[in-house]
Amino acid sequence: MMKKIEIDIQCQSCRGTGVYVGMSERDGAAVVCNTCNGTGKYHYKFEFEEFTGLQIRENVKRVYKQSYGYVIAPRKIRFENDELIDMEKEGVSYEDFNNGKMPEHIKQFVCPMLADQGKCNNIKNFVTECEIANGGSLFGVLLSNCKNQSNKLKCWERFDNGIKINK
């Protein structure tokens, strides 16, 4: 069911003051805000479908966390170095997804630092080992050019078995 809401929100341009001070206004000068016409508010009309539950999308067989910039399909696909990846074993079935199961990262596609750098920073010595593999620092290194890219699965093993830092 389509719902409509109309509300007055504080004008973001003038922060509710009705006046605008920019680069041209100096020494106490201001102009009437042209976003809200000096009212300090903006009348916002919002139309939306109320959420009634997860909708079903036809023709979806499997769901993956991300594609990481690769073309993916739920079948065996040829990857770097002629490696075959069975995409029917990656991700989760659409039925499982609709029942709340979430897919994991496709470890052959991406290293842990590219997939979830935040979690890598919470694992003891994880980033330090990445820096060592890249000559002592990751500063200025594009992670996609990491010298350890050919060892992604070993990096995932370090990630999965790492000691979490309490933060």
pLDDT of residue 61: 97
- Domains of the chain, by residue range, sit at 2-49, 55-108, 112-161
Residues of the chain with pLDDT under 50: none
Q: So what's the pLDDT on residue 106?
A: 94
Q: What is the rounded distance in angstroms from the CA atom of residue 53 to the CA atom of residue 55?
A: 6
- Amino acid 133: pLDDT: 78
- pLDDT of 114 reads 86
User: What is the longest distance spanned by two Cα atoms in the chain?
Assistant: 68
pLDDT in the model for residue 146: 76
What is the reported pLDDT for 63?
A: 98
- In percent, how much of the chain has pLDDT > 90? 56
Give residue for tokens 């996609």. Answer: 144
pLDDT for 79 equals 83
> Are 144 and 134 spatial neighbours (Cβ–Cβ below 8 Å)?
no
CA distance readout (Å), 85 to 64, 67, 81, 124: 14, 13, 11, 31
List b or e across 93-125, with b for residues whose CB sees 16 or more CB atoms inside 10 angstroms: bbeebbeeeebebbbebbbbbbbebeebebbee
The pLDDT assigned to 87 comes to: 96
Amino acid at site 123: I
Regarding pTM above 0.75, the answer is no
pLDDT value for 64 = 97
